[in-house]
Structure 1
């Protein structure tokens, strides 16, 4: 595995370095190179930026058949073939361990029914195959920091099966069009970015942090903390886990890999897999007899409060209004306060209605319970987004608004389906289009990470933390180019770049470090989404 691809030493780059477009020519609509200094001068006409953050889908998983996009039509049989753990080509895909669908789900697709699939991508909803529609909940897949890097295999994307826990399911995708996926129709009307990558390797926890601070959380002195047992055991390359050779199946055909320790922390104490917020609502209860607004700090997966600079700090310093709207936030907080152990309306708090690790600002000390910052900026999105929608309809959204749908509406495999969340987000976009603030608004809809699903495009070679697997992103706005597929190179931090560009903010350190690493690896800096906008067409 190429270590340089994953961990480059940042170098100084000239301030005039162009932010050029990525991707090749195709017969369809395509992007043209954009440079930071030539971006539209009237970007200041954007008054509101809204970010809607869904869950766990690779680009190919949902948009692999989108017209003029870099999709599955560009995949050859050889380029899609998955390798076994020893590097040999698998004769067939292994079964989807545990079955393709959850126990009790209709239609039921058992493990045995998934045996002997060809070693290639397959459509989960193929009527001649599993015939499993997007309204069906499929099983969850590994989406973890080290495993994700091992699956990417230096950019070849050929070991998703080998280092996953779901067998052949990683190669599953949906054959969609505007009649079957509500957001597909919106993507056809506005801009779909087909070269947009996860900000960080792994899962939801870390990618939410990169959405708001372009940084990786730290657990000081973790080796002497309750979390000591969660320090990962990593090979000398720094990117792959040490195998439990005595117990791990040699072949992906024989079962899920086993590692000595695949924990939440790196050997140098960065938190890369799911840790719980130090403040309520958290997946960890308060300590017995302790402060009811806190999570028990003695729990092995409670992360200490973070102090890094985040985008909210920069917005507040510039007097730009902003808020994070967490779907079901108020209900989750109330459930902790009234001692119902995290139950909302008879449903479990963490699945499907609310996931505490999807609320990134709740990890930061300057947004702790009791602070003015918290009261102003961490807002209840309401059950089913009701409170967020009220603000949309009233035209009272802040200048920058983040919206996180509650669990059963976020499209995460394992505890919800694609259909509910996709329809919900499409409905929210309709409300935004009818909002008094719409005429000067830019909406970005994307996914936190790939959820373990394969994608055929190699991520650009960046820094230690990412970028990672390609994910869908839609730019919806009166200013968005219409019917446009944007091939510009973006990642999750491009959202921060757009906010920074529009409001003239200082650049977060992680953005500079990411660009330096990309250039050091022979690539180019990330775009800031302005290539998706055209201010002359309104």
Structure 2
């Protein structure tokens, strides 16, 4: 639908890049540079839940749905977000049985929060919060360290509950990150350091997140952009680079991982949803092609009951154990292979293609900037190996593209020269400025975004041809009220923010097109005339067709957009 609208721009030439030889591929739009800046763990409602757009625009959030009022207090339809108690004994189900409704939220804990007690509920929050979303800054300042909600694969399927979004609290408080989680203390049923922390949100109407409010007012945001995989950081960063999911290998071939690393979310005997094997030092892989494997049958049944056919019938290849939770790469940042084993929690080297391979093949220059990468060999806590995604791939770590993986500090050097700046740049922050709940602060990520913008704008030759896409790896387990499209066995997950900052972005627009991280790959491919990454990657999906009855649900599901609706190229010179 949008391809014809861009035909006028196909002849635009990237003069600066062409003159310098930085990239041989020509963009089909005036956007010659894309910078993808990734924060961590915020759903759309967590950040934009009380955002009020410019006149003429509409947004789907807590305020527009009357779940909360402008001042953050419970609204007329507060009960629409009420959290329920579930019941799941025996075989795992993504849609647990209804077992009652919370009278009040269990008091939030400060699990993982820097400088806060971990062994008791967080006394900064009251013990009688109403059952629904609550404004975090009614109790602590914007930027304070607060608890880290549970955000793992099988848990999130249950939290979303087939689209009802009503088990966020129960799953987190009852199951947490699973029995194999030792941080900061071993988990036990009903003692998971969670409480109602997942229901917290910030309020732009009362001054929270002022930078993100200003960016939404001045540029374009999407209120239907999603994390592609249920769960946490590694799988979602991986999907950002591949529009796909990694899997366990031996000598480059699909293989069976050690038993301890295979997920088993079936409830332990005599418990209510206390998983058998799951957690940051346990289950990570699932063979979703085999309905006899724990956790598989329930999700496959949910997909089979959809009013449309899931992508590639679930996108599960026989004999493949897919990574659905966090692992680090099996290469050091220097390229040195790391020892593998059942206690190493590393994803073996991957041979599937990623977007960097596609860009290199198509003559599109790129770099991946990672905070702390120069110190990664020393296991610096500021370096997020699972965010340095090309490090997972043999094609990169054993080839010339390894030089395209650089420290974040190099960005501040490269951004000064528009002629040699890469066509595509991905920025993975230092851990402490990622905005991740618990050990980082949202305000620190705000400062990073502002700094990147400032430096790009300070170079007019670069700014006039750049789109900065600010998003988050995933929602971090926070509640969100938005629609979720089931695409395949792995997701989608909850909505997350996406902001398009560019001279070409529609001013103050709120785009309702359905997107996820594969949309960034689709944008790059369309902008530089590249093919999809692989036959099974989600960038093969069509752009959504949205009807008047519901602007958020594609009528041609499953479908994912290419982000072009965020931009206006009508004034581009021919």
Shorter-normalised TM-score: what interval? 0.7 to 0.9
Structure 2, unaligned runs of 5 or more: 10-27, 54-58, 68-76, 88-97, 177-193, 288-319, 546-552
The corresponding residue for 1:6 is none
Separation in 1 of the partners of 2:110 and 2:364?
A: 49
What is the aligned partner in structure 2 of residue 315 from structure 1? Answer: 359
1:105-504 to 2 correspondences below 5 Å = 110=122, 113-126=125-138, 130=139, 132-164=140-172, 165=176, 166-177=194-205, 180-181=208-209, 182-220=211-249, 227-233=258-264, 241-246=265-270, 248=271, 250=272, 258-262=274-278, 263-267=283-287, 268-281=320-333, 293-298=336-341, 299-333=343-377, 335=378, 342=379, 349-350=380-381, 353-368=382-397, 371-375=399-403, 377-382=404-409, 387-395=410-418, 396-435=420-459, 436-504=461-529
Flag the 1:201–1:537 CA change in 2: closer, same or farther, 3 A. same
Mark the CA change 1:536 to 1:167 in structure 2 (over 3 Å): closer, same or farther.
Answer: same
> Per the alignment, do residues 179 and 82 of structure 1 end up closer, same or farther by CA in structure 2, a change over 3 Å counting?
closer
CA deviation profile, 1:63-94 (whole Å, cap 9, x unmatched):
11111321112132232011102312211111
Alignment-derived partner of residue 103 in structure 2: 91
Report SS of the residue matched to 1:56: coil
Q: In 1, are the aligned partners of 2:235 and 2:245 still within 8 Å (CA)?
A: yes
Q: TM-score, normalised by structure 2?
A: 0.74
Secondary structure of the equivalent of 1:452? coil
In the alignment, which residue of structure 2 is the partner of 1:80? Answer: 81
Describe the SS at the equivalent of 1:44. Answer: coil
CA distance in 2, matches of 1:99, 1:490: 31
Q: How many residue pairs were aligned? A: 455
For 1:30, the equivalent position in structure 2 comes to none
Tell me by how many angstroms 1:146 deviates.
1.0
Q: Distance in 2 between matches of 1:516 and 1:438?
A: 28
In the superposition, relative to structure 1, how do residues 355 and 220 fare at CA in structure 2: closer, same or farther (>3 Å)? same
The one of the two structures with greater contact order (alpha-carbon pairs below 8 A, sep at least 6) is: 1
Give how far 1:110 is off.
2.1
Q: How far apart, CA to CA, are the structure 2 residues paired with 1:521 and 1:202?
A: 26
* Superposition TM-score, scaled by structure 1 size: 0.79
Residue of structure 2 in register with 1:61 after alignment: 46
Give unpaired runs (5+ residues) of structure 1.
1-17, 19-34, 234-240, 251-256, 283-291, 336-341, 343-348
Q: Give the 3 Å change call, closer, same or farther, for CA 98–245 of structure 1 in structure 2.
A: farther
Q: Distance in 2 between matches of 1:225 and 1:280?
A: 24
**1:163 alignment partner, SS class:** helix
Cα gap change, 1:172/1:178 in structure 2, threshold over 3 Å: closer, same or farther?
Answer: closer
Q: CA 1:455 to 1:520, structure 2 compared with 1: closer, same or farther past 3 Å?
A: closer
* SS in structure 1 of the partner of residue 338 of structure 2: coil
Matched, 1:511 2:527: no
Q: Is the 8 A contact 1:98 1:111 kept in 2?
A: no
The alignment partner of 1:192 has SS state of: strand
